[in-house]
Structure 1
């Protein structure tokens, strides 16, 4: 009998916290260098609505939560993956997939998740219906490898995705379904006849077209279930960008360093998109990194682009160090999240913040508390975030600028150092208030004194704020024209 106690400790360290440099960089989804705007009027309308939301939650939850390790990747054999060398690979895969027999989230509470997201000021959801390991968090009829076929099967909420989507819809969220295009549990993707060396399918599709066609059918049917059986959907967020037509693999993709097979892993996105948009008119397709008509917005991962981007995009980042639940994970400070959000929005993007529920189906108290703290700031300053667009001069040092075209207001979000007393004044250059106009401090709702200083402006803060050390940022509204 294999003991995994020490293995899990090592993996939690190496697979979550230990990767640095090129290995970690190679495993992150990069942003496509090109963007093709949608032509469908309904998609354009929904994309405009999505761009108003600015702040969302992505939830990774699956069998990986049971041992508390990285989602899916530990069963992939690539150079950056670390496992105990004394354990046979096939034994490890059996153990990993066997967590499905232990996954029994008896305290499953999607309402708690939705309440926490709402309290944080988030406006849209992306829920992981299936990650690369192939374990389904919805009641698919294409496989028995699903949450509704294990210890949780008799629970009235065994069709987990249905109740997650419902809980967030009741809060007015836009709803997105994350779906992994690769499926490492499917014999049509990782054929048991061969070893499973990398993230890619492990057989030559050119020589085995029947098997790949079965995988395409399997994928189409699963996405169809999500599009037809789970209510109104706004986003189909497709992960696993290496599953793509071979002709889309350009120098940009090759520069990422991920393994690329000689054959095409084409799953017929035109057919999938046509079906999805017939069932869900206007749905946003996010075929990550596969530039073209099915990547309606771009998704740089765990990073913020250096400069403003004029097309729609979203930075997906974790609240902690891991996408999924890991015991003892540490979380970004409230200030760090607020500063990232301000920078992302000023550069034209949205922030999709990742959290992972515990194996019992609840969010940890630390996660809920951090989200509440973020929401406290958002409740007072959200006007500078929601429904805004970029300005040409989008930042000056630690100050970021946004604009609400309808209200004809410009906003300056001044990010303050953590655990430092608020200053008596703040200054920035560019985006000066119109002569004689008022500058309002959103946190208090009151106007503040200001004066022009050459190409800049100096704003005087009320004395009451200068005693506080827990202000992540100060947001001001004013007219520039």
Structure 2
């Protein structure tokens, strides 16, 4: 039970933050310029399987959802747009941080039901998932033995629920429906006294002491990090992807001085990724490791954030993007339309990438109803057009105007997706599909329709004549032409 005063304070805080909620641009992650192919054949095989899946679910969730604020960043003492502190606790940094960390004592997501998420994600055609087991604020959404700042600690009301270890419940639920399982884990931990040592005030996102001057303290943090990741790799069933964030925690010799935020990293923050990856792969053979922005053997795929590259990247990659404007739950968030999401998926896949779509659960443990509506619409579209998405690879010319291409990796079949400005589709009577190559064309068909198309192969591609009945096929958002050679 909370007093009426406490409830009033929470309402005032939420109202302030709804007005100031920032978009999901808290930390722009530049793509690494160089890619190093994994030496382990099992990892390369897993990467190939992952590239076939194309569409995944991302979830940022933690105590911060109670305030509807940006995940973790409001306790970072940097003067950036995404770190702004608002509301009744914001007068002093220490007061705000104390109130933020006290959210643990009220976190009680009683509507938590991962099977409901699985059903919606599966219908939408998603094939893998990444869940935030721990964000930068250090609050663990799993039953770690390394700290009491966790969802299963007795101070957290939800700890009394039989499903309090939400990471295990989520992984098990999605795994039962054959999803690939990914564990997001922040290498930085702003709650750990061995990262932000209370002897010094925190200055920014980085460790607040020089690890070379205090090696014993840094080694404690390295052990803490290793032990937490080892728990995830040994006690939570099969895990396919270890998705590491907090790219400023890195060896100093890996800093890219062409990137603004990397130039501000003051210390060598090497946490021994070789040891972490070796442990992970002993326990999870073929484990894909994604050490974001740190080029080398532990960034097995790159992760452009909130953007779609203009051309294929030449190595495995994944666009991670929010369904709304924010990574974490914000009351009244503005969700992208189903049409826009579908067209973003097409654009990403046409460049050879995977699309990881984020939905932030609310403080009650459920998604906004709008998220379910979007996934239902996407699923309706994928049931007709999914064969041009899954198991595909990029093919030149990748796109031409409003037409985007994919190629089945096991055949000479090419898929040409035509995007429309409106959700309803209205074909022109004639249409050109520019395509390179001189292979002999066998057949052109429209997925989801029995309409007979008239076509002829030209020097520049394919010329199509579409009957008026093509407009009554019930297709929405984007149409897909199957081109068989």
Structures share a fold, TM > 0.5? yes
Q: Residue 79 of structure 2 aligns to a residue in which SS?
A: coil
Quick check: 2:425–2:478 contact (8 Å CA) kept in 1? no
Distance in 1, Cα, partners of 2:228 & 2:451: 53
| Number of the residue aligned with 2:54 | 54
Give the deviation of 1:79 after TM superposition: 1.8
Q: Residue 47 of structure 1 aligns to a residue in which SS?
A: helix
| Number of the residue aligned with 2:44 | 44
Q: TM-score, normalised by structure 2?
A: 0.93
| Number of the residue aligned with 2:33 | 33
Give the deviation of 1:451 after TM superposition: 3.0
Q: How does 1:319-334 map to 2 (within 5 A)?
A: 319-334=323-338
Q: Does 1:82 align with 2:84?
A: yes
Quick check: 1:7–1:83 contact (8 Å CA) kept in 2? no
Paired residue for 1:413, among 417, 423, 428?
417
Q: Does 1:457 align with 2:459?
A: no
Distance in 1, Cα, partners of 2:469 & 2:16: 49
Paired residue for 2:479, among 471, 474, 481?
474
| Number of the residue aligned with 2:96 | 92
Change (3 A) 1:381 1:216: same
Q: Residue 267 of structure 1 aligns to a residue in which SS?
A: coil
How far does the alpha carbon of each residue in 1:189-215 deviate from its partner, in whole angstroms, 9 at most, with x for none? Answer: 111222222111111111111111110
Give the deviation of 1:452 after TM superposition: 3.8
| Number of the residue aligned with 2:66 | 66
Give the deviation of 1:421 after TM superposition: 4.5
Distance in 2, Cα, partners of 1:419 & 1:272: 47
Distance in 2, Cα, partners of 1:445 & 1:211: 68
Quick check: 1:129–1:138 contact (8 Å CA) kept in 2? yes
Distance in 2, Cα, partners of 1:79 & 1:318: 23
Give the deviation of 1:434 after TM superposition: 5.1
Q: Does 1:291 align with 2:277?
A: no
Q: Does 1:101 align with 2:105?
A: yes
Q: Residue 418 of structure 1 aligns to a residue in which SS?
A: strand
Give the deviation of 1:243 after TM superposition: 0.5
Paired residue for 2:186, among 175, 180, 204?
180
Change (3 A) 1:447 1:34: farther
Quick check: 2:200–2:208 contact (8 Å CA) kept in 1? yes
Give the deviation of 1:361 after TM superposition: 1.3
| Number of the residue aligned with 2:402 | 398
Paired residue for 1:444, among 443, 449, 456?
449
Quick check: 1:422–1:471 contact (8 Å CA) kept in 2? no
Distance in 1, Cα, partners of 2:59 & 2:301: 19
Change (3 A) 1:445 1:281: farther
| Number of the residue aligned with 1:141 | 145
Aligned length: 472
Deviates more, 1:69-78 or 1:453-462: 453-462
Distance in 2, Cα, partners of 1:444 & 1:470: 8
Distance in 1, Cα, partners of 2:37 & 2:71: 32
Change (3 A) 1:424 1:63: same
Quick check: 2:448–2:473 contact (8 Å CA) kept in 1? no
Quick check: 2:425–2:477 contact (8 Å CA) kept in 1? no
Distance in 2, Cα, partners of 1:36 & 1:412: 31
Change (3 A) 1:445 1:100: farther
Deviates more, 1:118-127 or 1:419-428: 419-428
Give the deviation of 1:30 after TM superposition: 1.3
Give the deviation of 1:44 after TM superposition: 0.6
| Number of the residue aligned with 2:276 | 272
Post-superposition, which runs of at least 4 consecutive aligned residues in structure 1 deviate over 4 A? 1-7, 431-436, 467-470
Change (3 A) 1:329 1:433: farther
Q: Does 1:373 align with 2:377?
A: yes
CA RMSD of aligned residues (A): 2.0
Q: How does 1:204-215 map to 2 (within 5 A)?
A: 204-215=210-221
Quick check: 1:15–1:82 contact (8 Å CA) kept in 2? no
How far does the alpha carbon of each residue in 1:83-125 deviate from its partner, in whole angstroms, 9 at most, with x for none? Answer: 2496110000011111111111111100011111101100001
Distance in 2, Cα, partners of 1:422 & 1:431: 26
Distance in 2, Cα, partners of 1:261 & 1:30: 15
Q: Residue 407 of structure 1 aligns to a residue in which SS?
A: coil
Distance in 2, Cα, partners of 1:101 & 1:259: 37
Q: TM-score, normalised by structure 1?
A: 0.93
Distance in 2, Cα, partners of 1:371 & 1:147: 28
- Unmatched 5+ stretches in structure 2: none
Deviates more, 1:350-359 or 1:456-465: 456-465
Distance in 2, Cα, partners of 1:110 & 1:188: 33
Deviates more, 1:6-15 or 1:383-392: 6-15
Deviates more, 1:68-77 or 1:402-411: 402-411
Distance in 2, Cα, partners of 1:364 & 1:261: 37
How far does the alpha carbon of each residue in 1:360-412 deviate from its partner, in whole angstroms, 9 at most, with x for none? Answer: 11122110111010111111101101001111321111111111131321111
Q: Residue 354 of structure 2 aligns to a residue in which SS?
A: strand
Quick check: 2:248–2:265 contact (8 Å CA) kept in 1? no
Give the deviation of 1:313 after TM superposition: 0.2
Quick check: 2:40–2:286 contact (8 Å CA) kept in 1? yes
Q: How does 1:151-166 map to 2 (within 5 A)?
A: 151-166=157-172
Distance in 2, Cα, partners of 1:88 & 1:259: 28
How far does the alpha carbon of each residue in 1:65-89 deviate from its partner, in whole angstroms, 9 at most, with x for none? Answer: 1111111111112121222496110
Change (3 A) 1:83 1:448: same
Distance in 1, Cα, partners of 2:190 & 2:466: 56
Paired residue for 1:386, among 358, 374, 390?
390
